[in-house]
Amino acid sequence: MKQVAIGKPVDNFTVVATSDKTFDLTTCKGKKLVLYFYPKDSTPGCTTEGQDFRDLHDQFERANTLVFGVSRDSLKSHENFRSKQCFPFELISDPEEALCRQFDVIKEKNMYGKKHMGIERSTFLIDEQGVLRQEWRKVKVKGHVQEVLEAVKSI
């Protein structure tokens, strides 16, 4: 599976998500899709980012856009996180990092002086035909979701 590139169709993928759902990119044809990758459930930045997507979810829906969060956490962890935060969208579990690698979000990180491989907070906007239209890498949470919403509305 090749990595994504702006202006190119995204290769189909099938993943598991919360609410016992299996998600297949082809089922989104006719809708825009926002995939936001985040490092870990229930951590401060990831919680804030999810809450921002939650708070603007109705506007994304009105713009014919599905939102999915993606991390390497288990479905059980995702279900707890989603329930606690009242997220109206599904979370995708990618413990094998297949989707993470397709979107090239696994990067070397440095935490407290120790290097490890982890998810670099990133967001991707895919149009109704399955073409990657925009990407945000090394995301800073503050104001990010509003910026994504504006991009959704512009296509």
pLDDT in tens, 17-53: 999 999 888 888 899 999 999 999 999 999 999 999 9
Distance CA 141, CA 132 (A): 21
CB 9 within 8 A of CB 129: yes
Determine, yes or no, domain membership for 28. Answer: yes
Q: Which two tokens stand for residue 94?
A: 């990618």
* Per-residue confidence (pLDDT) for residue 15, from 0 to 100: 92
Residue given tokens 């980012």 in the structure block: 49
- Count structural domains, the chain: 1
| 86 noted as active-site residue | no
* Per-residue confidence (pLDDT) for residue 108, from 0 to 100: 81
CA 28 to chain centre: 14
Determine, yes or no, domain membership for 120. Answer: yes
* Per-residue confidence (pLDDT) for residue 1, from 0 to 100: 59
User: What is the span of the domain harbouring residue 41?
Assistant: 14-154
Residue 64: give its domain's CATH number.
3.40.30.10
Closest listed residue to residue 27, CA positions, set 44, 43, 15? 15
CA distances from 55 to 58, 60, 114, 130 (A): 8, 10, 34, 25
Determine, yes or no, domain membership for 150. Answer: yes
Determine, yes or no, domain membership for 52. Answer: yes
- CA geometry: angle 13, 47, 20, nearest 5 deg: 40
Determine, yes or no, domain membership for 1. Answer: no
Active-site residue identified among 28, 46, 86, 100: 46
155 residues of the chain, pLDDT tens digit each = 567 889 999 999 999 999 999 988 888 889 999 999 999 999 999 999 999 999 999 999 999 999 999 999 999 999 999 999 999 999 999 999 999 999 999 998 877 778 878 899 999 999 999 999 999 999 999 999 999 999 999 99
- CA torsion sign for 110, 72, 50, 136 is positive
pTM for the predicted model, two decimal places: 0.94
